[in-house]
Amino acid sequence: MIIIENHFNLMLRKPKKNTYLEYITSTDHYAFIKHVTQNAISSEGRKFKLNKYLRPLRLEKVDEDFVNIVNVDDRIVTPTLKLHPESIAFLFHLNGCAKNIAFYLVMLELNHNTGEYQYNAMIRDKFKAYAEKFFGEKYKPSTIDQAHRDLVYANVVLNIATHLYIMNPLFAGGGNDMGRRTISKRYTELLKSKSKDPIKSIYPNYFK
């Protein structure tokens, strides 16, 4: 009987918990991920969306009877963005602007089913505004154009027609293995049509 009473008293003294939230909607990060979900091209299977989740932050003891649970009302962007393992070799020699525009194109402009994207003055200006607004980088239009040409030189992208490009399927795009093989076949034919080496010109430039 004494044991039962002691156990009952311990249960009575168990601290009560109140849950509180901290919000991210006023942060720079929230502005960035909101931009991503609202501005990515709506190619099949690649429309980004924000998913809510509660991220545990801390416990705040008020007194012996109360504990506050503080969570962050956070967001995760889905679906995940996929760069292929071979992309690391391409990225190694890319400078800051070229690397940044490559990431931008993959995230916001690339059709991941066809591997195609457009690059023109409008896309360049969109990237310029994006870089300045979210990361404080003030690129000149000529710098951005040169960075995009660097992607061509580095075998990351290939020109198809005026303002139309295809991304190397070793870098990104294709969705799955079958999709990558399909784009790889087309990419090879395009290389041959431009009198480029269909073997070496699809691979990274390992030495400058």
Q: Whole-model pTM?
A: 0.82
Comparing 16-20, 86-90, 200-204, the range with the smallest average pLDDT is 16-20
Q: Is residue 193 part of a domain?
A: yes
Beta bridge partners of 18: 68
**Domain count for the chain:** 2
Q: What is the pLDDT of residue 16?
A: 67
More confidently predicted of 166 and 71: 166
Amino acid 44: pLDDT: 47
Same domain, 130 and 175: yes
Q: Hey, what's the torsion of the CAs at 48, 53, 58, 60, to 10 degrees?
A: 130
More confident residue, 66 or 4: 66
Domain final residue, candidates 78, 100, 128:
78
Q: Which amino acid is at 203?
A: Y
Based on the fold, state whether residues 99 and 186 are members of the same structural domain.
yes
- Among the candidates 27, 57, 78, a domain finishes at 78
- Position 91 scores a pLDDT of 95
17 and 108, same domain (yes or no): no
Residue whose C-alpha is closest to residue 155's, from 107, 105, 102, 106: 102
Residue 207 falls inside a structural domain = no
Residue 189 near residue 166 (C-beta atoms within 8 A): no
Is 208 part of a structural domain of the chain?
no
69 lies in the same domain as 97: no
What are 11-59's pLDDT values in tens digits? 455 556 677 788 888 999 999 999 988 887 654 445 788 899 888 888 8
For residue 190, the model assigns a pLDDT of: 96
Mark whether 22 and 72 lie in a shared domain: yes
Q: Which of 64-78, 87-101, 126-140, 163-177 has the lowest mean pLDDT?
A: 64-78
Give the structural domain span for 36: 2-78
User: What is the per-residue pLDDT for 11?
Assistant: 47
Q: Does residue 142 share a domain with residue 103?
A: yes
pLDDT tens readout for residues 138-189: 999 999 999 999 999 999 999 999 999 999 999 999 878 899 999 999 999 9
95-111 burial, b at 16+ Cβ within 10 Å, e below that, comes to eebbbbbbbbbbbbbbb
Average pLDDT of the segment spanning 49-78: 84
How much is the pLDDT for 48?
83
138 with 161, same domain? yes
Longest dimension (CA), the chain: 93
pLDDT at 82 (0 to 100): 84
Domain C-terminal end among 51, 78, 105: 78
Q: What is the DSSP string of the chain?
A: -HHHHHHHHHHHTSPEEEEEEEE-TTSHHHHHHHHHHHHS---TT---EEEEEEEEEEEEE-SSSEEEEEEEEEEEEESPP-B-TTHHHHHTT--HHHHHHHHHIIIII--TTT-EEE-SHHHHHHHHHHHHHHH-----HHHHHHHHHHHHHTTSEEEEETTEEEE-TTTB-SSSHHHHHHHHHHHHHHHHHTT--TTGGGS-----
Q: Are residues 126 and 167 in the same domain?
A: yes
The CATH number for 196's domain is 1.10.10
Give me the residue label for tokens 């003891």: 61
Are 68 and 163 within one domain? Answer: no
Residues 64 and 92 in one domain: no
Amino acid letter, residue 157: V
| Residues 96-124 pLDDT 10s | 999 999 999 999 999 989 999 999 999 99
Pairing relation of β-strands 157-161 and 66-78? unpaired
pLDDT at 2 over 50: no
pLDDT for 46: 59
